[in-house]
């Protein structure tokens, strides 16, 4: 699944930028908005590859926005926290800020209509958290992360159903783990 996360979360953005930006730059106007995740600013335990791809998207967005400054073309990233969708079904999110899809859509529309910073979080108040983390003792950060890394329990099998549906949409070659990646626990061979 590592390669799939890189392909979807990062290469998808790179390919989209490659398709959209040349025409926008030639016209001298346009606005690309990449949807990333708050994981692009705050590392999530038990989601290292996901976090890495989202950090990459945020860095790419900021770099290209700086490169295109003054060209009439804007590049922004919207970083929602966990969004109430099928993708987050079954995840242990008690006590974690969550948003609904219309909240993300509204942030994107606001950015298109009014402009704003190159990176916008949803909810907006979460934008200051990465800056505060710089001044927070590591012991406190570890305690916060430990609270968000509860063992994953999919009591209603909602997450399992989502993952099975996604696997069914993909060619078999993409869902087979690479040789160096062990199979998930539920697919591990009996010993």
Q: Which of 50, 68, 88, 163 is catalytic?
A: 50
φ, ψ of residue 56 in degrees (nearest 5): -65, -40
- Three-state DSSP at 122 gives strand
Alpha-carbon gap, residue 158 to 55, rounded angstroms: 27
CA-closest candidate to residue 148, choices 91, 86, 84: 91
Helix and strand numbers (H, E) in the chain are 8, 5
Q: Answer yes or no: 152 catalytic.
A: no
- The CA-to-CA distance between both ends of the chain, in Å, stands at 23
Alpha helices in the chain (DSSP H): 2-5, 12-27, 48-67, 101-114, 129-133, 138-148, 158-169, 172-175
The neighbour count for residue 121, using CB atoms within 10 Å, is 26
Q: Which residues belong to the active site?
A: 50
């Amino acid at each position: 699944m590592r390669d799939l996360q890189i392909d979807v979360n990062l290469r998808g953005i790179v390919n989209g930028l490659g398709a959209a930006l040349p025409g926008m730059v030639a016209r001298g106007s346009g606005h690309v908005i990449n949807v990333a995740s708050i994981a692009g600013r705050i590392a999530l335990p038990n989601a290292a590859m996901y976090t890495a791809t989202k950090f990459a998207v945020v860095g790419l967005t900021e770099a290209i926005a700086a490169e295109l400054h003054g060209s009439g073309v804007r590049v922004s990233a919207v970083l929602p926290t966990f969004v109430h969708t099928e993708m987050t079904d079954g995840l242990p999110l008690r006590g974690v800020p969550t948003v609904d899809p219309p909240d993300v859509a509204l942030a994107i529309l606001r950015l298109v209509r009014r402009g704003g910073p190159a990176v916008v979080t949803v909810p907006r108040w979460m934008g200051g958290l990465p800056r505060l983390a710089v001044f927070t003792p590591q012991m406190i950060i570890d305690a916060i992360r430990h609270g968000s890394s509860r063992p994953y329990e999919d009591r209603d099998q909602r997450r399992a159903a989502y993952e099975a549906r996604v696997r069914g949409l993909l060619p078999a070659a993409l869902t087979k783990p690479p040789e160096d990646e062990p199979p998930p626990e539920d697919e591990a061979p009996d010993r």
